[in-house]
Chain A
Amino acid sequence: MTKFTSAFAAGMLAVVTMTSTAALSATPKDTLVVATTIDDIVSLDPAEAFEFSGGDLLQNTYDHLIEFDPKNLSAGYQPGLAASWTVSEDGKTFTLTMRDGVKFQSGNPFTAEDAEFSLRRAVLLQKTPSFILTQFGFTKDNIEDTIKATDAKTLVIKTDKTYAQSFVLNCLSATIGSIVDKKTAMAHEKDGDMGYEWLKTNTAGSGAYSLKSWKPNESYVLEANENYWRAKPAMKRVFVRHIAESASQRLQLEKGDVDVARNLTPEDIAAISGNADLAVDEDLRGRIVYMSLNQKKAPLNDPKVIEAFKWAVDYKGMTETILRGQYTVHEAFLPLTYLGELKDKPYKLDIAKAKALLAEAGHADDISIKINVRNEPTYMAMAQAIQGTLTQAGMKVELTPMTGKQSLGEYRARQHDVYLGAWGPDYPDPHTNADTFAHNPNNSDEAKLTGKLAWRNAWDIPEMTKETEAAVQEADTAKRAEMYRAIQREHQKTSPFVIMFQKIEQTGRRKNVQGLVTGSAISSVYYWTVTK
């Protein structure tokens, strides 16, 4: 017995000694290791990808005709693969001149034909983000005329109506505007799918990196494109690892096994703030958190009841406690930093006022509602706080926690009472949020405008719909911004949306990592700017 025990102990000791030497300390100087979550990536085809992490990956592997300068995001859209452009007098024809000397990662030269192919296939494939392009009137029947390469250097785009120039160009900078290497994609074409099946798991772009490997829910590896037209990326390799648990991310960051940790909880952020080797960056992202009231369900459609909800939320209290460092109070539907942003915060917690409004409406104590909420810690914490204050105002509130997909099904079918959730802009133009929060051309069930939040909440707004349509066509940028501010003021007063917060992303990094840009409200993460 003793012999066995000592042999076993010796064996365990040997294992421990062997393994203890294997741990590494710091990552190499030309390599970036990022800890984040990547389990939301469904597809890598730019015509389909629409999730946060997919956007991050594609941002670094593809270029767009119009792009942002990561070193100066607030400067707005800039020339990308299109070196310059002109717009016709009626504002409907955009003539873009392609940049010289750009090569795809495959070595194929970039021409206007690739741009034509990329935009056309995004329309033809009809995947979820295709509306970003089809809203300009492109259809599979007219696409031969509306998106056309007239020669190797020139692409001509014709829209159905006159839109604000900034609107069109901003949309071209979205992920769906990524320029795909036509030759490579078509070499992998199957049954006329324009390379879709292949591009779901591979990339064919001209971006700063090419995708070396992608293991779903596990990791992906990017390799620098030495021919990148903007600069030679200092990081030759970028390893992005899926680490769901914040505490695990933090430990690896502290140990130097990862350079960047992107999903740290406020507790972990606080814990590393005293560490001299680490730094925390804050970046205001585009995500808006709101609560919305289904207008099909009385008395949630009573203007006084709606207003009562807006006074019965502890905006400031939540950002100082459960949302500390992660969200800032914001009460208008356009994210801060967007054209037309509105900083007014007309509402704050005032239970007495909420009670008075409910009493005036004749519903002092008979309102009983369910709030549908995603079963995630942050959202649940918000929902519980809101439940608390609404109860104080005299309502009976039940929380229905659901998975993201589950709550969405009910929401899109207009069956909810109250929905608590978030909305992230789809492209860096104010129309992206105005279109969903303040545009509802047909409120009937049959219209099934499921992509629009105004429709999902059955909010019938013929006037505001017209105003939103006018704003997107306004050529004068200053005037356009003012139009959005007016719409938002009205929206704050009358809409069944209680807009509460805007997301702040906190990124933990090793101090030697410089130049990491996480994209602010308008873009995604950039790795080519990073140095160590």
Chain B
Amino acid sequence: MSLTGNISGGRRALLSSRSGILRGSRLLVSLAVTMLGLLLITFLIGRVMPIDPVLAVVGERATNEVYEATRKAMGLDDPLIIQFFNYITEVIRGDFGTSLLTSRPVIDDIARVFPATLELATVATFIGVLIGVPAGVIAAVHQGRWPDHVVRLLGLFGYSMPVFWLGLMGLLIFYGKLDWVAGPGRLDVFYEDIVPQVTSVILIDSLLAGDFEVFGNALAHIILPASVLGYYSLAYVSRMTRSFMLEQLAQEYVTTARVKGLSEARVIWRHALGNVMVPLITVIALSYANLLEGSVLTEIVFAWPGIGFYITNALLSADMAAVLGGTVVVGTVFIGLNLLSDVLYRFVDPRARQGG
């Protein structure tokens, strides 16, 4: 889905500034409509769920008086549409409300849990791309021979293995037996709160503070969960790369390049892969966006305090302020990555640069 739209080539020069503004405002409107729709649907789902948000606060023992007083204080007596309107008004003011479960502003909670997910998803995507793309290329080049079989088998394995099991096995072997990596959590307890929080992404914060011990510990903690998640991303990316490459390698320009006497490596890695980059960027962006939603199971196994666990926990307790806040973040991430891949298209695809 492209949100930016195309610009007509001939009138581009003449209308460039006007169309820029137009495009910008169109983008903003479609962004606002998407977010509003997303919030409305989430809000309605939250209200039809057979979970009572008041009970989430007052607990099993509450007398009816306490229950009613709390219900009123939470604004749940108002009609649905008023509740939604009130919520949106607050959001526009920048107030996402207070989470029932953590007693804190949702915005603070998200500022705490999202960087954890961002950090994990980014490292995982790096692993997935750095291994997945070359693996896909190799498989395509050696189609039908053993490197292809190995890559496809690994991909299949990655698809079909439950993440929960893979995570536990990883912990058992690399943490329990071999001692190569650190255990669950983002840091050993003794390293917590040592470096000042700037981005809340520990790998970056520790580098900013110049504290390599904390950096090393954070890396030791992230490498395993990121590898587990990265494996899934790898399985997807390598499979897609392989099929894109197969298509390109059958094209005439590849034969031409070979006839011209270019080295095989240049033909494959430069010409063919170069042309695969456009669809591949979409694939990678999608897989990254998926990881940024947070992977609940991975987060549970690795005690990783990310947004997946946060939203799931909130949903099960009907903590709607938290669920809606999380939805806004996930929605923004999706839209943002979409825009980013559009921008990257222009960068890698000359046709898009020329507006064709």
Whether A242 contacts B303 in the complex (CB less than 8 A), given A131-B61, A405-B56, A409-B50, comes out as yes
The answer to whether A19 touches B305 (Cβ under 8 A) is: no
- Which residue on B lies nearest to A199, using beta carbons? B103
Whether A20 contacts B179 in the complex (CB less than 8 A), given A42-B57, A42-B100, A405-B317, comes out as yes
Complex CA distance for A51 and B179, rounded to whole angstroms: 36
B217 within 8 A of A: yes
A126 within 8 A of B: yes
Complex CA distance for A128 and B192, rounded to whole angstroms: 34
A245 within 8 A of B: yes
Whether A405 contacts B181 in the complex (CB less than 8 A), given A24-B190, A245-B303, comes out as no
Contact segment of A155-163, A250-258, A299-307, A497-505: A250-258
The answer to whether A20 touches B181 (Cβ under 8 A) is: yes
A138 within 8 A of B: no
B61's partner among A27, A33, A451 (CB-CB below 8 A) is A451
B74 within 8 A of A: no
Q: Can you report 18 A-B residue pairs in the complex whose CB atoms are below 8 A from each other?
A: A1-B134, A19-B180, A22-B217, A42-B103, A126-B65, A217-B313, A221-B192, A242-B305, A243-B185, A248-B171, A248-B184, A251-B172, A251-B175, A255-B183, A403-B317, A406-B51, A409-B50, A409-B52
Residues of B within 8 A of A18 (CB): 216, 219-220
- Which residue on A lies nearest to B138, using beta carbons? A1
Chain B interfacial residues counted at CB < 8 A: 65
The answer to whether B52 touches A23 (Cβ under 8 A) is: no
User: What is B's interface to A at a CB cutoff of 8 Å?
Assistant: 50-52, 55-67, 69, 99-104, 109, 112, 130-131, 134, 138, 168, 171-172, 175-176, 179-185, 188-190, 192-193, 216-217, 219-220, 223, 265, 268-269, 300-303, 305, 309-310, 313, 316-318
Complex CA distance for A31 and B192, rounded to whole angstroms: 14
Whether A51 contacts B63 in the complex (CB less than 8 A), given A19-B216, A19-B219, comes out as no
Interface flags, A87-129, vs B, CB<8A=1, else 0: 0000000000000000000000000000000000000001111
B105 vs chain A, min Cβ distance (A) = 11
Residues of A within 8 A of B56 (CB): 42, 405
Whether A405 contacts B52 in the complex (CB less than 8 A), given A131-B61, A245-B301, comes out as yes
The 9 closest A-B pairs by CB, nearest first: A216-B102, A22-B220, A19-B220, A448-B64, A218-B305, A239-B189, A200-B103, A409-B52, A243-B303
A415 vs chain B, min Cβ distance (A) = 11
A450 within 8 A of B: yes
The answer to whether A450 touches B64 (Cβ under 8 A) is: yes
The answer to whether A50 touches B64 (Cβ under 8 A) is: no
Residues of A within 8 A of B184 (CB): 243, 245, 248, 251-252
Interface flags, A205-248, vs B, CB<8A=1, else 0: 00000000101111101000000000000000001011111011
B298 vs chain A, min Cβ distance (A) = 11
Residues of B within 8 A of A218 (CB): 112, 305
Complex CA distance for A20 and B182, rounded to whole angstroms: 8
The answer to whether B176 touches A217 (Cβ under 8 A) is: no
A408 within 8 A of B: yes
The answer to whether B61 touches A50 (Cβ under 8 A) is: yes
Complex CA distance for A218 and B172, rounded to whole angstroms: 22
- Which residue on B lies nearest to A8, using beta carbons? B130
Q: A23-B181, A42-B56 are in contact. List 4 more A-B contacts (CB 8 A).
A: A1-B269, A8-B130, A19-B219, A33-B189
The answer to whether B183 touches A408 (Cβ under 8 A) is: no
The answer to whether B192 touches A219 (Cβ under 8 A) is: yes
The answer to whether B112 touches A215 (Cβ under 8 A) is: yes
The answer to whether A1 touches B265 (Cβ under 8 A) is: yes
A469 within 8 A of B: no
Residues of A within 8 A of B55 (CB): 405, 408-409, 412
Interface flags, A434-457, vs B, CB<8A=1, else 0: 000000000000001111000000
- Which residue on B lies nearest to A131, using beta carbons? B63
Residues of A within 8 A of B60 (CB): 408
Residues of A within 8 A of B179 (CB): 20, 23
Which of B60, B193, B305: most chain A Cβ within 10 A?
A: B60
Whether A257 contacts B217 in the complex (CB less than 8 A), given A128-B59, A131-B61, comes out as no
Residues of B within 8 A of A5 (CB): 134
Complex CA distance for A247 and B51, rounded to whole angstroms: 30
B288 vs chain A, min Cβ distance (A) = 20
B109's partner among A200, A216, A248, A408 (CB-CB below 8 A) is A216
Complex CA distance for A5 and B188, rounded to whole angstroms: 33
The answer to whether A126 touches B66 (Cβ under 8 A) is: yes
Residues of A within 8 A of B310 (CB): 217
Residues of B within 8 A of A4 (CB): 134
Complex CA distance for A110 and B11, rounded to whole angstroms: 80
A172 vs chain B, min Cβ distance (A) = 18
B126 vs chain A, min Cβ distance (A) = 11
